[in-house]
Amino acid sequence: MTKRDYYEVLGVAKNASEEDIKKSYRRLAMKHHPDRNAGDKTAESQFKEAKEAYEVLSDAHKRRSYDQHG
């Protein structure tokens, strides 16, 4: 399975600020949260993907590593 670009997942530019990343993640988390979309496996998958992207891009060290190595 091919992983999508984390910036694409969150809908932000590669030079996005931490605040922009956080806002985008919160918007997507609310939209795709399993509690709001009970039984919707697609929404659950999108929620998990957004969470994974946020965990990497919100941490300066992980983000730097991701930017260098993908």
In this predicted structure, what is the pLDDT of residue 2?
Answer: 58
The pTM assigned to this predicted structure is 0.90
Degrees (nearest 5) of the Cα angle 54, 45, 16? 25
pLDDT digits (tens, 9 = 90+) for 16-50: 999 999 999 999 999 999 999 999 999 999 999 99
C-alpha–C-alpha distance, residues 6 and 70, integer Å: 9
Whether 1 shows a pLDDT value over 50: the answer reads no
pLDDT at site 48: 97
Report whether pLDDT(59) > 60: yes
